[in-house]
Every structure is written in C-alpha cells, then in structure tokens.
Structure 1
Amino acid sequence: MHDEHEDGGLAQDLKLFRASLERRDLLRLALGASLLPLINCDGDSSEPGDGSCSRIPEETAGPYPGDGSNGPNVLSQSGVVRSDIRSSVGSATGTAEGVPLTVTLTLVDSSNGCTPLSGHAVYLWHCDREGRYSLYSSGVTNQNYLRGVQATDSNGQVTFTTIFPACYSGRWPHIHFEVYPNLASATSAGNKLATSQLALPEDACDAVYATTGYQSSVTNLQRVTLSNDNVFSDGSDSQLATVTGSVSGGYVATLTVAINA
C-alpha cells in the first residue's frame, strides 16, 4: 500500500511543506489580530472618566474676565486663592445667594495621553443668580464674589463651592475658566495657557430656575439653545458638564478639561 503523496517525490514534499508553513503563519496572524482588542482593553484609559481625549475648545473670556485684560484684575487680590467663591474677599463683604453648586474640574494633558496635570492653576468665574458679574455689572461693581483660583491636586482636580449661575439674555448658562501653569503665574491674563467655558445641562437649569431669585432666567432660557448659542453652537460635547443633585440638596457639576500643556 502506497502513501498517497509518495509518487510526488521531493518536489511534492517541498510543496506540502511550504503549504504547511503558510497555514501556520496565517493562524499566527489571525490569533494576533484577535488579541488586539484585549490588549487595548488592558491599556491605560486616554482620559479619566470617559476614555476621550478631545482638547477642549478655546473660547472667549467674555467682557467681564476680571483678569486684567479688560479692566479690573481680581487675580492680584489677596484671598482670591480659595475653594468657596460665594463671598467677596478683601474690603468687599457681599455674598452671592442662590442654589448651591459644587464644580469639579479635572485637568489633563491632551498631548501626553491625557495624564492628570497637577500643580496647575485654574481661575473660575461666572455671573450671579440675577445675571450680574461682580466688578462690572451695575449694583455689584464693588463686589468680587463668584471668582476664585485654585491649584490642581495630584489627580489634576480643583473643586469650587459656588451657586448655580443665571441664564442672562443671549447666552446659554455657563461658567468661565482659565488655566495657568501654576499659582505663581496666575496673576494676569498674559500668563494663561487656555481659556474656555463650561455649559450646564438643560434639565438642571429648568429645576433651578423654577426657584426664587431666578425668575428672569426662565424667559431667557426659552430664547436660547446650545445649538444657537454664540459660544457652544459649533459643538459642546467636550464642554457640557455632568450635573447631579437637587435644588434642596445642591448640585455637583463635573467636567474633564483636556488642554495641550
């Protein structure tokens, strides 16, 4: 009884040997491809929280920055480095009333795998529940509340205790912030690395604006949308904060801020 390949001789044996090698190579390639998703799953997340590393858009600081670029500079004021920004500092004694809001920003480096940026400084500011900006608006030019600076911790985070801002005519409810290399450089706008704005979600706004003191915000919110706001109309995915909480217990807004450090 003869082997079915015996009559092919050396030529046939070489042909079969090559075919066997090709099959093994294909199997190795297929196995390697099937493992790639598993390898990626075990890798580091590109950004804390959502795995995204989209650099936050650069936005205008607006006409009321208080950073020396347009009039007063609160950054030179003693006491401006603080977490609770509801009251004014220095000789001013006013306190902004409104529904409590805690804002936590996580600063990450978009040019380095979205690793946390510790030791940077964040200057944050926004309007009060009447839609006024301290230092600028009529009735509060002698106040500097709802403005503050903090250094990011080892996780790249800063947390501010504040109040839910109003919706004033022509703008979606928002919070301004600037990023500086460190606290020592957070003294004037010329040293900043980035400027952007945080948008607040509609459901939280509706709940807050139904409370006392926010009456004008109800009408103003009905006249603007994220899609026609002059800042957020080009896309707000990386600027829309996640907000949890309630009117009675206060709200918490969180946002990961990716910049090119």
Structure 2
Amino acid sequence: MAVSPASGACRSGPTPSQTEGPYYTAGSPERTNLVEAGTVGTPLLVTGVVLNADCVPLSGARVDFWQADGAGEYDNAGFQLRGHQFTDELGRYQLETVIPGVYPGRSPHIHVKVFANDGREILTTQLYLTGISDQIADAIFDAALLAQDEAPDADGHRHVSFNFVVVE
C-alpha cells in the first residue's frame, strides 16, 4: 500500500487518542495472529500503516493490540487476543484476530498502543467497525476511528484497514 501526503492519509491530522481502559497488560507476545485454539469470534483481518504527521511511514514502530473475544470477554489472566508487532520497512502492520463482542456500555472495539522506535508511547486509541460499532450507544465512540472496509481476505473473512497518524 503506497501512502503519500497527496493520498489524503494524513489530511485529517493525528489519529485521535482514546482511553486505555482497564484491561491493558504489558508484556504481550510478539505476533501477528491473536487467534488461538478455542478463541470465540468471527475471523477479522486488520491492516494498515503507521505514519508520522508528515505522512512518512514509520518502520519498526511497535503496535500493541488487545481486545475482547466475540462474546465480549477479556482474558485478564493471560494473553489471549493480546499481542504486539513491529511495522515493516514501509510502516505496515497486519493483524489476524476476531470481531470483538459487545459488553455493557461499549460497542465492539480493538485497543491499540503505538510506540516509537525508542520505546516512547506515542498513541493510545481504539478502532471501531462500520456497521457494528456505530450502531451501539457508547459514550466514547469516535467515528474518526472507524476502520475502512476492504475486500474480504483470501478466506472470505472480513478485512478492514486503518492508518495511524502519530506525533513523534
């Protein structure tokens, strides 16, 4: 995926921050697939690019993901549906996960933290899904954080994309 200032990827400014929430656990395993045996939920592919405010892709940025399973439950004892990865030389990430479930007061969302190469946390936010997250009352929902639907992946699963624009 080629991204440039002309493409409009950075036109709206930095990605809005959102609360970390009570369920972040440091020390997640490095992986691009959060789905383990027994994981509840419908498969979801999330892809995108991490960019700086000048729309330059950030290689080697650490991206942490964590979320509830398809039933709206978090794993607070281990690392199911938790993991981190590093962006490639073009700033890209790719995550295999499941569509998060609903729990009281929240629409389905995926938590994200982005860290610079030097380890500084530069963004904490949440991603939402069109047609699901925007249909449920949620006091912190932000339409600017809706992932864009893409063509289904090779297995026919839902595929969404989101580019994170960060201030270093």
Identify the TM-score tier after normalising by the shorter chain: 0.7 to 0.9
| DSSP-derived class of the 2:162 partner | strand
Q: Is the 8 A contact 2:40 2:71 kept in 1?
A: no
Structure with greater helix percent: 1
How much does 1:47 deviate?
A: 6.5
2:30 to 81, 102, 110: 81
Residue number in structure 1 paired with 2:48: 105
- Indicate how the Cα distance of structure 1 residues 49 and 167 shifts in structure 2: closer, same or farther if over 3 A, else same: farther
Residue number in structure 1 paired with 2:55: 114
Matched letter for residue 99 of structure 2: F
Residue number in structure 1 paired with 2:166: 259
Residue number in structure 2 paired with 1:242: 148
| DSSP-derived class of the 2:11 partner | coil
CA distance in structure 2 between the partners assigned to 1:50 and 1:260 by the alignment: 14
- Indicate how the Cα distance of structure 1 residues 118 and 171 shifts in structure 2: closer, same or farther if over 3 A, else same: same
Kindly name which structure, 1 or 2, has the bigger radius of gyration based on alpha carbons: 1
Q: Say whether residues 1:152 and 2:58 are aligned partners.
A: no
Using the aligned pairs only, state the percent identity.
Answer: 31
Matched letter for residue 117 of structure 1: L
- Indicate how the Cα distance of structure 1 residues 84 and 151 shifts in structure 2: closer, same or farther if over 3 A, else same: same
Q: Is the 8 A contact 1:99 1:163 kept in 2?
A: yes
1:177 to 112, 115, 119: 112
Structure with greater strand percent: 2
Residue number in structure 2 paired with 1:193: 122
| DSSP-derived class of the 1:116 partner | coil
- Indicate how the Cα distance of structure 1 residues 50 and 114 shifts in structure 2: closer, same or farther if over 3 A, else same: closer
Deviations 1:2-42, CA, capped at 9 Å, x for gaps: xxxxxxxxxxxxxxxxxxxxxxxxxxxxxxxxxxxxxxxxx
Residue number in structure 2 paired with 1:214: none
5+ long unaligned stretches in structure 1: 1-43, 68-74, 88-93, 136-140, 186-190, 207-220
Q: Is the 8 A contact 2:64 2:85 kept in 1?
A: yes
TM-score normalised to the size of structure 2? 0.86
| DSSP-derived class of the 1:171 partner | coil
How much does 1:51 deviate?
A: 5.7
TM-score normalised to the size of structure 1? 0.57
Matched letter for residue 87 of structure 2: T
Q: Say whether residues 1:55 and 2:14 are aligned partners.
A: yes
Matched letter for residue 231 of structure 1: I
5+ long unaligned stretches in structure 2: none
Pairwise CA RMSD: 2.5
- Indicate how the Cα distance of structure 1 residues 65 and 51 shifts in structure 2: closer, same or farther if over 3 A, else same: closer
Residue number in structure 2 paired with 1:128: 69
CA distance in structure 2 between the partners assigned to 1:50 and 1:201 by the alignment: 18
Q: Is the 8 A contact 1:165 1:173 kept in 2?
A: yes
- Indicate how the Cα distance of structure 1 residues 49 and 96 shifts in structure 2: closer, same or farther if over 3 A, else same: farther
Residue number in structure 2 paired with 1:166: 101
| DSSP-derived class of the 2:143 partner | coil
Q: Is the 8 A contact 1:109 1:258 kept in 2?
A: yes
